[in-house]
Every structure is written in structure tokens, then in C-alpha cells.
Amino acid sequence: MSETKVKHADEIFKSFKMQSVSEFFKKNAAMLGYTGKLRSLTTLVHEGVTNSLDACEEARIFPDISVHISEIGQERYKIIMEDNASGIPLDYITHVFGKMLAGSKAHRNIQSRGQQGIGVSGAVMYSQVTTGKSSEVVTSTGGKAINKVNVKINVEKNAGEIVSRETLKNPGKWRGTRINLEAKNLQYNRSKYGPYSYLKMTAIANPHTRITFIEPDGTKILFDRNVRQIPKHPKEMKPHPHGTSADDILSMIKNSSATRVRTFLVSEFTRVSSKKVEEIEQISGLDLDINPKKVDWEYAEKLVNAIKQITFMAPPTEGLIPIGADSVKLGLEGILSPEFVHTVTRTPQVYHGGIAFIVEVGLAYGGNAGNNGVDIIRYANRTPLIFDQGGCCVTEAVKSIDWKRYGVKDDKAPLTIFVNIVSTHIPYTSAGKQAIATEEEIYTEIRFALMEVGRSLSRYLSGKRRAHEKLTKKKTLLRYVAETSNAIASLVNLEDSSKIAKVLTDIVEKKYDFEEATNGEEEITPVSEENGMEEVSENEE
């Protein structure tokens, strides 16, 4: 043996592995949302809040979430987030807070709030990478004990590890979870990319939630609950035949146990009845009784072409849970106190790949609804999209609308446009998942929704303008009453002009009351765009 000791492979791979997990985290920081000091802080908050919202929704609890950010050093912050969800049993703490990429929804055809699939453990990881510290988790299911645990991620095993543990008494029957973590390379401010804006947007889209937020300077903000109804929990859905590609069919066949193409179609797709299969058979001329495993590219393509010629029912909506026009309205009203709100939840549509989606649009005007032109707030499955606004389908759609047509004369009009895209698969432009790709169907659908709220705004504004004009006129007239009455009195040698003034005022009041009664019903011709094509629907049968 020479002096040089040969290293065992395990040893090599041990460090390699260690390196790779933290390398992985660093390299993919952008994809995971940890890029930039401000964005990293927003992402930390996002992971915690999303986790809490999901937990509450599952447990059917009205979320009561608090977020407390404090600055403890140079670019170093402490973040405490607490919820009132069901709490986490001791054995599962490491699973929730310690395992990266533990997401279970990532590969399923289901609407999900979480975007990254690494969840709150990403926050623990970020804290660990930047400070070397563990994160403190305090949780109770409402029983006798509160568990106070410090967790770390064991990068070797990609698993959570309990560093220290303490059991506290729980006389107040407190239930919920609180995470307390420290991290570096962060920055706090109130820009639209920061936690404040994120929480405000979250509150709008989750009006059943109460969020208490304490900023580093001690300012306490309450985004209160505006709806007494917990959203339904989404269900997994089968794809819709429309827009399905040959490639999709081939990969679906791999995971299917069907023995005939006919049964494959009926069982793997939604809205495909045996009657519809007969239609496909007729149009395609294919033998649908062959084993799906024998389907080749050419066969699949013929299938797709036939499917395209057939009308199917719109995809079922059970899997998609929109916020609902009423709730969006209450959310916008509660948080922005606007002067006018109109919201619309469109009927489900399908985009490429047979994926159902719903567009929800809300328009808030006046009040705190922005003060420097159109403020676009974007959501995917009610999760705020904060970054990459410029490259987003939603932004493009909003900008394609000529708001002047809807009576918005001022470029700086206080206008907030809320857009939520609900789908099992949101077509993001990139792994960063902050912008939605411009799928034509989605783009068009957003536009239709925007026009709908635009027309409503137009009616409101013209009514307001009329009322305003009327009021101005009346005020003008009333302004001259006293002078005119005095002059008349003096002209006819009357000492007192008050009687003249009173009758003259009555005459003015009467004229405008009368006009109100007659003109009140007047309808303004709605602005029509695209020849009223907004009533596009797949419904049949």
C-alpha cells in the first residue's frame, strides 16, 4: 500500500451527494423562487402561507394566518408564520418540513395551489443554506401537548431531521402550526414584488381567510375575512378529448390497463361516451377494437383528427374550483374598498391538450384600486403571480383591451384588474411558474371576460357621469339663486328676498327631481366588441 490512501466510493459519493443537493438547490434557485433578495423573502412567505391555506382547506377550517417579519441583521430576517389548521402530528413534522420534492399533486390531473412541489421544506432549506440554522416548528392538533421541534434537512437522505424537541402543555387547547425561521440575503420593502403585495393579493383571492401581517417596522396590517364559506376541495380529473395530441394519446396508453381502444377512450377521457366512440369510429374508419398497445403514431393521429371533428360536452367542472364571482367581488371590495366592482366567472373551456380551465375576472374601480393606471393582479389557481408580469398571457390580454371604449378616459384611472386562471394544468411559460403562456383559447377567454366587466364598468361610468353632470347643473343653478333673488327683490322694492329664494330653489329642485324620474331608466347602448361573440360554448346534447 502506498502512502496515498484510496478512497472508498461511498466516501466519494457521500460528499458528492451532499454537494449535489445544495448545488441542486442553488442551481435551481430561480425555478424554486429563491432569486433576488426581495423575491426570496416573498417566496418564503408564499411557501408558508400556501401550506397553511391548503391545510385549512383540507381540514375545513377558516384560515387565520399570521405572518411576522422582523429584521435581525444585515439582510437577515426572522419570519414567523402561524396558522390555525389541524396541526401536524409529531411523526409527520419532518415529512412536511424536511422532505424536498415531496409534493403529491405534481403529476396528477388536479388543480393545486402549490406551484413548485417543494413547498415549505424549501423555506427550511433556504434558511439552512443561508444561515446554517434549523427552523423551529411549534404545532399542536389541539390535544394536551404542544410539540416544539427544531428541524433541519438532512441533505444526504433528503429527509427532515429533528435536531431538538420539547413538549409543552396546552391548557388553552391551542391548535395550529407555527414556523419560525431565519434567513439571509433578503430584503423587505412594500413594492409590488414584496410580501405585502403578495399577502394582499392572497387575501383578495382567498376572501375566506384572515391574514394578520406585521412588517419589520412594526406596522400591523389586517386583511380581514370577507366570506363565510370555505372553498370546495378540488378533485382529480380525466383529460378532455379536444385538443389531445397523438403524443398525449400514446403516453396515456402506456399507463392504461384497457384492452381495447374503445374502452381506453371511454375510461381515460372525460365526456367520451360509447355513442361518441361510435362517431369517432365512423369518421376515422379505424378499428377501435384493437389492443391499445398496438396503437402507433399514425393510428393515434387519425384518432386525433376524428376527435377534432366531433363536438363533446364541455369538460366537467367538479375538478375545477373557481373562487366564484361573488367571492371575488367580496374579496376585492373588502381589500380595495373600490367604488365599483364587477366580477365574472366564465364557464369552463378547454385548451390544447384537453385541459379544462376557467377564467375569472374582476374589475375594481376607484377607492384603493390603484392610482396609476391599470393595476393587473394575476392568479393561477388563486395563487398570486407576482413576477414576470410582462411575459404573461394575462397581461397581454388586459393590454389588448382599449379601456377608453369602456369609458376609462384617464390613463391614470384607479383600476385594478383581477384575473384568476383555474386549471389542473396551468401552462406556465417557464419553470419559474410566474407567467402563463399565451394559449390562444385562454387568451381569448380572458379577453371575453374583460370585455364583459368592461361593459359593466362602462354602464357604471356613464351613469355616474350623467349623475355628476346633473348634480353639477343643479349646483350651478342653485349657486345663482341668492344673487338672482336679491336682485329681483330690489327691483320690485321688496325688503326680503328669502321667499323668492325659497321658491326659486324649489323650482330648481323640482326640475332635477323630475328629470331623475324620467331619465333614470335610460340605458346606455353597451359597447360591443367582436360582434358579441363572447357566448362561445361547447355545450351540446
Partner 1 sequence: MKNKPSQNVPSILGKFGEEIYEQIMKEESPSIKIPQRGKSNVYFDDNEKVIQLGDKYSKRHFLNVAHTKKFMQTLLVASYCRRLVEENKHAGIRELYYALKHTVEGSKENTFDDQIESNPIIEDLETALDILREELNLTADRRGYIYGDIVIRDDEDEFNASKLGRGGWAVPGTVEEIDFLDLNAKYILVIETAAMCDRLIEEKFAKTNDALLVACQGQAPRGVRRLINRLHTEKKLPVYVFTDGDPYGWYIYSTIKQGSMNLAYLSRRLGVPDAKFIGMTMDDIEEYDLQKVTEKLKDMDKKRINEIMDYEWFKRKEWQDQMKKCLKLGVRIEQQALANKSLEFVAKEYLPEKIENEIFLP
Give the range of 24-32, 160-168, 351-359, 496-504 binding partner 1 by CB under 8 A. Answer: 496-504
3-state helix, strand, coil in the chain (%, to 5): 40, 20, 40
Nearer to partner 1, 410 or 506 (CB): 506
Cell digits of residue 187: 430584503
- Report, in Å, the least distance between residue 495 CB and partner 1: 14
Question: Strands 210-214 and 64-73, how do they pair?
Answer: parallel
Cβ at position 478, least distance to partner 1 in Å: 9
Question: β-strands 355-365, 349-351: how paired?
Answer: antiparallel
Residue 477 is placed in which grid cell? 343653478
- Nearest approach in angstroms of CB 508 to partner 1 is 7
- Restricted to residues 474-493, the positions that interact with partner 1 (CB under 8 A) are 476-477, 479-480, 482-484, 487-488, 490-493
List 39's β-bridge partners, or say none: none
Residue 357, H or E segment: strand 355-365
Contact indicator for 322, 335 with CB cutoff of 8 Å: no
Residues in contact with partner 1, total (CB under 8 A)? 23
Considering beta carbons, is residue 247 or 509 the nearer one to partner 1? 509
CB 25 within 8 A of CB 125: yes
The binder of partner 1 chosen from 26, 108, 308, 511 (CB under 8 A): 511
Q: Pairing between strand 220-223 and 355-365?
A: unpaired
Instruction: Quote the CA–CA distance of 541 and 96 in Å, as a whole number.
Output: 46
**Least distance to partner 1 from the beta carbon of 429, Å?**
54
From 352, 473, 524, 526, residue interacting with partner 1 (rule: CB under 8 A): 473
- In the complex, what is the shortest distance from the CB of residue 220 to partner 1, in angstroms, rounded to a whole number? 42
- Does residue 506 interact with partner 1 by CB under 8 A? yes
- Closest approach of partner 1 to the CB of residue 460, in Å: 24
| Least distance (Å) between residue 524 CB and partner 1 | 22
- Cβ proximity to partner 1, 405 vs 473, nearer residue: 473
* Range list of β-strands (E), 188-263: 210-214, 220-223
- For residue 41, state whether it binds partner 1 (rule: CB under 8 A): no
Of these, 145, 507, 533, 536, which contacts partner 1 (CB under 8 A)?
Answer: 507
Residue 498 touching partner 1 (CB under 8 A) = no
Nearest to 174 by CA among 222, 202, 138: 138
What are the DSSP calls for 256-325, one per residue? ---SSHHHHHHHHSSS--HHHHHHHHHHH---TTS-GGG--HHHHHHHHHHHHTS--PPPPSTT-----H
For residue 194, the 8-state DSSP code is S
Q: Which is nearer to partner 1, 495 or 535 (CB)?
A: 495
Stated length of the chain: 541
**Residues 433-472, mask of contacts with partner 1 (x by CB under 8 A):** ----------------------------------------
User: Closest distance between partner 1 and the C-beta of residue 371, in Å?
Assistant: 27
Residue 180 half-sphere exposure toward CB, CA atoms < 13 A? 8
In angstroms, what is the minimal distance from the CB of 468 to partner 1?
13
What is the rounded distance in angstroms from the CA atom of residue 269 to the CA atom of residue 312?
Answer: 11
Q: Which three-class secondary structure state does DSSP give residue 139?
A: strand
Per rule CB under 8 A, is residue 221 in the interface with partner 1?
Answer: no
Residues that bind partner 1 in the complex, under the rule CB under 8 A? 473, 476-477, 479-480, 482-484, 487-488, 490-494, 500, 503-504, 506-508, 510-511
